[in-house]
Structure 1
């Protein structure tokens, strides 16, 4: 009864709080325009839009803390540091604040991948993955705006396995990174609502009263029930994956408020913009961190609306530009691999392995099955009406919310290595443009299937290692991203995904899914025609064709005990060899989270804010 009562209260609040300015007609226009704009969008290939017309450097004053990047972690740090009235905080963000348009509608926020809210990065051409994409270049979505990639991601609230944090603690020799010690930071930021009584939840591991609302989609759909029952029939337990254990089948938790996307900027920054000691300067592109003769980070050079400025940091510069841009800015500032910097004519300040270890999760989307599962008869107008009441399919990035975190190959690591997401639907024109599928790949796999039960796979803990390198010493050139997916010599990474495909076939054959007569929908892929259809060699070839990024990169500014181990920052995220500079974002994580990265990034922001506060408030 308590759960049902709380659900009624929560939904009633949703109905009261929804903006009176939104109507079915206005949101229908917003959606249609956003889809068309996204289809027509020209994706940038560099950052020259930020190049100043006036090259005379102007003074922008001094702040105690200058935060480079108002993304997921940067938003949290800005919010928490500005709680101290004696601190002055400046956030330099290249993008803008998200408006209340289509990005707030979870189901359509992927239109943001082809908009000014995405940097538009692509990998260099790959040889072992992304082969079904134009030029073999994986698209690499990275958020550009206050809130970062939480502006346009899949919204899944996922901390990863407790054990991964114990691994971090041992790796850096600092027990403050153990799960028992960082759980309080996850709970601090969270405001959990148990909106689906059927979803497994362990309330002891969730927070209440934080700035980030977390819930399950309302209402639940039958496909979730079928997916969880199929998991049970294969012996997979059903659990709260953010509880004591990460492994098992589940209904995902998502960070939405009133059915709307709750990006980090909206949750942590917007409510506090009236603080006199906090300034968020958008359209600000950082080109360099400047150090004095004692190697203290004393100022930051940035452009803003045609001009170039220098702002001083009296206490610290905090670099929070993400796993792609943080290493780029460090290297442009003279901190990075000596050989690489000298080759580009950049004066070397510190020889550190910046960008040398780039870890990310490969996966595949839309492994599709036809079925007798009924299609929705709702019109877009009806879906929008539900959305205005905080319910329905528009309130989630995926129609279904079934998910499993599994251990396939690495049985002794205590971590999950495979994620299986169950959804409904098939790629359309916008998906083709967003990912950049080759036409023949799209037509052969998905062109004839408009409605299907689909599965997405992610290898959560691969061993293949890539790099981030500068293209040139020009700060307006995009960096060279080489994820190097599925490249390990023993084929362990692709084997995990292959075993995932076999698991999906077993799920389809369970009594639960036989109720809807699931049948694999796609025929042979011509790029793999030399292999017998559905043979192991065929599936290996298939996976190299359809593999994509999960967009959860880490380790490019890795945390560790010393620079001699290849680390860039210590356990308090201070850059080795210099003073007054920290890096705080996913780039500091030395190993992959066996899950999604947005929520760990929020935790990093909470943790490092406490560390900084303790240091400077102790001084008085």
Structure 2
């Protein structure tokens, strides 16, 4: 049986498991008549759009319509363990956008078909991600403010992080002022972990990293990951902000409705959108505003299709330029990470894939929503370190994720799917072996890429060029990150308790260099590094003095009235961690900015 056939079979098995153990989330939906008029149109029911719509509907006299390109989320997205189902071929609930072959990273052809995956369903990418809830570093937001974006400093945004959060794990007294209790979104520490994860904090302490809560003001240390889960199930922002409010008469959701153009009047006011629903082009109009929350790839694409973007690029495609905004689709930033730094351990100490979906694991999940099915596969802890910047020793420049499994441990069925033959050969000695690996990630990469249009056809994917490792500083920092990862994995506690042994085989393509020398690591980094699918910055927020700015600090698109953007694309600089929690914050603050502009609240 081919690997694709096996994956297809497991996809069906996942659906069966989910059907037995969870109830599907079915969002009440509407079908709007042609030329409907509402107060606010929100494009996208993902991590930001769901927040914006839910919060705006708190004003009873405002009619809010959410248009989502995808459909209802599959039932198995609720089970944390099954998050990897988005990687299966031919699934309808994701977009898989091709990326330009990178020039500076993935030089060993790490993946045969590199694609950027986003969620295409109610909940968006927050319904398929690994659920890691990480606000980033306080300095990230102070930097945003210093770039000319008042109201986006740490002190201000912390209020919104707390507002959205219902923190459900024990906390130390010093951390309590930074946590939110009773908000819509459940956040809790990872529960079940295999033995490797239970030793993570001790390993960090060996190298001088204290245990911290990374969602407070602490910066350097070891941490168990925090997840957006509730009672052992994924909680997307749609679950938290949309579903509980769908009984409101002023909130409507229409699915399977891809927006293809923002409608502008002769004064460049946004007055509505065109969308395709059941193969028909329809329109809906906004009395007040249109809010775009389509994500870092699709938001700049929609703006450019609507004539808002770089004039020269639009001219080449025959698109009439309504507003010349050269920054649309520029400033593409993404975290870059490095695979391949692993350790084997004694047999039967870790939890194999088969053990994690065993009848006992399923029964445990059914009875108590606990055990291996209640957590995402692999990632369980992380280390925040400063390895390169002595001027700011308390600010981490890398994050190292501990994966409590080893690439190839599943015999390559999932972990090596899509990898080139030479890379699979590198992993061959680990097939079926218990182990773990460290995944270092650059917190603030300097490399930037672009998002451009392929054509005028709104159903063509955007052209994504992440351009990772194009800045030489990123390569040198990743070399230091690799060494730091090796030091962490070689902690005595891992060797003593688990018999951990590092992989000592040089990777093909770098074997001609002295093993683990700086030159070897540079070669390894160029060959094996890839992006994390945290696309950000493509419609950046900036003051008027920045010619590449796309939105103002109040998230209004330059040169267009009644049009705002609220998603990861507005980040002037990418945050220092996973992007889902910051995107939820952007939705929270964006909704309050609208309420303030219409006199509903005073900030």
Same fold at TM > 0.5:
yes
Q: Of residues 342, 353, 356 in structure 2, which corresponds to 1:368?
A: 342
In 2, Cα distance between equivalents of 1:399 and 1:499: 24
Aligned to 2:363: 385
Aligned to 2:177: 204
Matches within 5 A, 1:211-222: 211-219=184-192, 221-222=194-195
In 1, Cα distance between equivalents of 2:298 and 2:13: 27
**Contact 1:301–1:309 (CA under 8 A) maintained in structure 2:** yes
Q: Of residues 474, 495, 503 in structure 1, which corresponds to 2:484?
A: 503
In 2, Cα distance between equivalents of 1:463 and 1:397: 29
Once the two structures are superposed, what CA deviation does each residue of 1:451-493 show, in whole Å capped at 9, x if it has no partner? 21111121111101100010111111111100001111xx211
Instruction: Confirm or deny that 1:121 pairs with 2:97.
Output: yes
**Contact 1:30–1:102 (CA under 8 A) maintained in structure 2:** no
Q: Of residues 18, 35, 43 in structure 2, which corresponds to 1:60?
A: 35
In 1, Cα distance between equivalents of 2:361 and 2:198: 21
In 2, Cα distance between equivalents of 1:298 and 1:36: 41
Residues 31/265 of structure 1: CA separation in 2 closer, same or farther (3 Å cut): farther
Aligned to 2:5: none
Deviation at 1:253, TM superposition (A): 0.9
Aligned to 1:260: 233
Instruction: Name the stretch that deviates more: 158-167 or 238-247.
Output: 238-247
**Contact 1:103–1:151 (CA under 8 A) maintained in structure 2:** yes
Q: Of residues 559, 567, 574 in structure 2, which corresponds to 1:577?
A: 559
Aligned to 1:548: 530
**Contact 2:356–2:372 (CA under 8 A) maintained in structure 1:** no
Matches within 5 A, 1:293-312: 293-312=266-285
SS in 1 for 2:338: strand
Instruction: Name the stretch that deviates more: 412-421 or 496-505.
Output: 412-421
**Contact 1:192–1:207 (CA under 8 A) maintained in structure 2:** yes
SS in 1 for 2:166: strand
Q: Which runs of 5+ in 2 are unaligned?
A: 1-7, 17-31
Matches within 5 A, 1:14-25: none
**Contact 1:359–1:465 (CA under 8 A) maintained in structure 2:** yes
Aligned to 1:598: 580
SS in 2 for 1:62: strand
**Contact 1:159–1:599 (CA under 8 A) maintained in structure 2:** yes
In 1, Cα distance between equivalents of 2:581 and 2:124: 12
Aligned to 1:70: 45
Aligned to 1:193: 168
Once the two structures are superposed, what CA deviation does each residue of 1:299-319 show, in whole Å capped at 9, x if it has no partner? 101001111101111100001
Deviation at 1:563, TM superposition (A): 6.2
Aligned to 2:464: 481
**Contact 1:93–1:146 (CA under 8 A) maintained in structure 2:** yes
Q: Of residues 322, 327, 344 in structure 1, which corresponds to 2:295?
A: 322
**Contact 1:217–1:391 (CA under 8 A) maintained in structure 2:** no
Deviation at 1:200, TM superposition (A): 10
Once the two structures are superposed, what CA deviation does each residue of 1:339-383 show, in whole Å capped at 9, x if it has no partner? 111111111111111011101111123521012271336662111
In 2, Cα distance between equivalents of 1:470 and 1:455: 36
In 2, Cα distance between equivalents of 1:411 and 1:598: 29
Aligned to 2:222: 249
Instruction: Confirm or deny that 1:86 pairs with 2:81.
Output: no
Deviation at 1:143, TM superposition (A): 1.2
**Contact 2:149–2:541 (CA under 8 A) maintained in structure 1:** no
Matches within 5 A, 1:215-294: 215-219=188-192, 221-294=194-267
In 2, Cα distance between equivalents of 1:402 and 1:201: 21
Any runs of at least 4 consecutive aligned residues in structure 1 with deviations exceeding 6 A, and if so which? none
Once the two structures are superposed, what CA deviation does each residue of 1:574-615 show, in whole Å capped at 9, x if it has no partner? 001110100110000100101111000000111011111122
SS in 1 for 2:48: helix
Matches within 5 A, 1:383-532: 383-388=361-366, 389-399=368-378, 401-412=380-391, 415-427=395-407, 428=410, 429-431=412-414, 436-446=418-428, 448-450=430-432, 451-488=434-471, 491-515=472-496, 516-521=498-503, 523-532=505-514
In 1, Cα distance between equivalents of 2:416 and 2:524: 20
Residues 113/201 of structure 1: CA separation in 2 closer, same or farther (3 Å cut): farther
**Contact 2:336–2:530 (CA under 8 A) maintained in structure 1:** yes
Aligned to 1:26: none
Residues 446/458 of structure 1: CA separation in 2 closer, same or farther (3 Å cut): farther
Deviation at 1:203, TM superposition (A): 1.9
Residues 261/618 of structure 1: CA separation in 2 closer, same or farther (3 Å cut): closer
Residues 372/400 of structure 1: CA separation in 2 closer, same or farther (3 Å cut): farther
Deviation at 1:535, TM superposition (A): 2.5
In 2, Cα distance between equivalents of 1:363 and 1:202: 29
Residues 327/400 of structure 1: CA separation in 2 closer, same or farther (3 Å cut): closer
**Contact 1:117–1:151 (CA under 8 A) maintained in structure 2:** no
In 2, Cα distance between equivalents of 1:619 and 1:315: 17
Aligned to 1:109: 83
**Contact 1:360–1:549 (CA under 8 A) maintained in structure 2:** yes
SS in 2 for 1:528: coil
Aligned to 2:123: 147
Residues 535/319 of structure 1: CA separation in 2 closer, same or farther (3 Å cut): same
SS in 2 for 1:120: strand
SS in 2 for 1:431: coil
